[in-house]
Amino acid sequence: MADAGTEDRRRAYLKALEIDVYALRGQHTDAPEAEAELDAQDPDNLPAPDWTTLQARVSACTQCILHKTRTQTVFGVGSRAADWMIVGEAPGAEEDRRGEPFVGRAGKLLDEMLRALGLSRERVYIANILKCRPPNNRDPANDEADSCRHFLDRQIELVAPKIIVAVGRIAAQRLLQTDAPLGRLRQQKHYLADGQVPVVVTYHPAYLLRSPTQKRKAWQDLCFAAAMMKEGNE
């Protein structure tokens, strides 16, 4: 039989997933705050989470100040066995309302970019550096990005993509741990710190909406990524 701590953690996950929990009369039901916070705030002391547990931890996360202003967390969407993973910066206002990354005009443009490659939102996995929206869509603070990094790292481990496309300067710099400008990062084959997963950098769809003349360069970046995928499959 599970001990009280294990049961309390299970209940915290289910509560974060908005699943009703019922207990037998006399069964322990009061999960101390310390137990609930442990899962979200002390990940190094816990086993690597599966998808359900990871999403519950994200939903319950209070590691940085952004939890005070979010409507909801934005976890990620798409195929959890995708070859392609798209990583952006942070949720915007529409994403915060709907709980899904890359919706609205920027999301529609991203969908068009994927279709041009013969892909779709359902065949890739899409996530952000941050899981909560920064107020007024400001750039993520260092502590905010650092607090969220272990969530993204675990998503990458679970998906095990063959390639990651970092869209936008902040996503690229955070993933690659560099301060190099986006222009210098484009059209190059990068790797995550583990040296295993290749990363290609391109413009954020929101930037392309403001600067449509750069769409040709973004298409070149996607073609570069597709060529890397073809090379890796040969």
**For 11-47, how does the pLDDT look when each residue is reduced to its tens digit (9 = 90+)?**
555 555 455 544 444 444 444 344 444 444 555 566 7
* Domain 78-233: CATH architecture, name and number where available: 3-Layer(aba) Sandwich (3.40)
Q: Which tens digit of pLDDT belongs to each residue from 112-144? A: 999 999 999 999 999 999 999 999 989 999 999
Q: Answer yes or no: are the C-beta atoms of 123 and 162 closer than 8 Å.
A: no
Q: Which tens digit of pLDDT belongs to each residue from 190-232? A: 999 888 899 999 999 999 999 999 999 999 999 999 999 988 7
Domain residue extents for the chain: 1-60, 78-233
DSSP of 166-183: EESHHHHHHHHT----HH
Q: Considering only CA atoms, which of 163, 156, 81, 78 is closest in space to residue 121?
A: 78
This prediction's pTM: 0.81
Structure tokens at 188: 């190059």
